[in-house]
């Protein structure tokens, strides 16, 4: 069945470091792909999305590119801030509208 696999955390980085959180997926067809973020004590928020191959989603300095050939949607940011500390979820949305989430990656940014 369809699934999303993302790197296990926690990931701990210093402020201004480069961030990559890996995400790969297994799906029938060409799903839309998403990254959601959950800040401490808050609900999930859509961070960015890509709906077809080679699309790049971007928001708040984060980017992810839909790579069909490697079935990946890795999240990157060039210079992280303490305020980026959160749990990040990779997800895919199937044609039947069901969204499948990865297990989440907790990110800690040290000042």
Partner 1 sequence: GAGVSQSPSNKVTEKGKDVELRCDPISGHTALYWYRQSLGQGLEFLIYFQGNSAPDKSGLPSDRFSAERTGGSVSTLTIQRTQQEDSAVYLCASSPNGGSNYGYTFGSGTRLTVV
Binding site for partner 1 (CB under 8 A): 31-32, 34, 36, 42-46, 49, 51, 89, 91, 93-104
3-state DSSP call for residue 40?
Answer: coil
Instruction: Tell me which DSSP letter residue 96 carries.
Output: T
Q: Which is nearer to partner 1, 11 or 44 (CB)?
A: 44
Q: Which helix (H) or strand (E) holds 32?
A: strand 32-38
Q: Which CB atom, from 42 or from 69, has the smaller least distance to partner 1? A: 42
Please say whether the beta carbons of 5 and 17 come within 8 A: no
Q: How far is the CB of 56 from partner 1 (least distance, A)?
A: 15
Q: Provide the minimum distance between the beta carbon of 43 and partner 1 in the complex, in angstroms, as a whole number.
A: 4
């Amino acid at each position: 069945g369809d699934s999303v696999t993302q790197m296990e955390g926690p990931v701990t980085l210093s402020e201004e470091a480069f961030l990559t959180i890996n995400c790969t997926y297994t799906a029938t067809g060409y799903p839309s792909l998403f990254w959601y973020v959950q800040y401490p004590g808050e609900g999930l928020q859509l961070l960015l999305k890509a709906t077809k191959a080679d699309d790049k989603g971007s928001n708040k300095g984060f980017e992810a590119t839909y790579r069909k050939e490697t079935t990946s949607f890795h999240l990157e940011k060039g210079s992280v801030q303490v305020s980026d500390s959160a749990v990040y979820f990779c997800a895919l949305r199937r044609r039947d509208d069901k969204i499948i989430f990865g297990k989440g990656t907790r990110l800690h940014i040290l000042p």
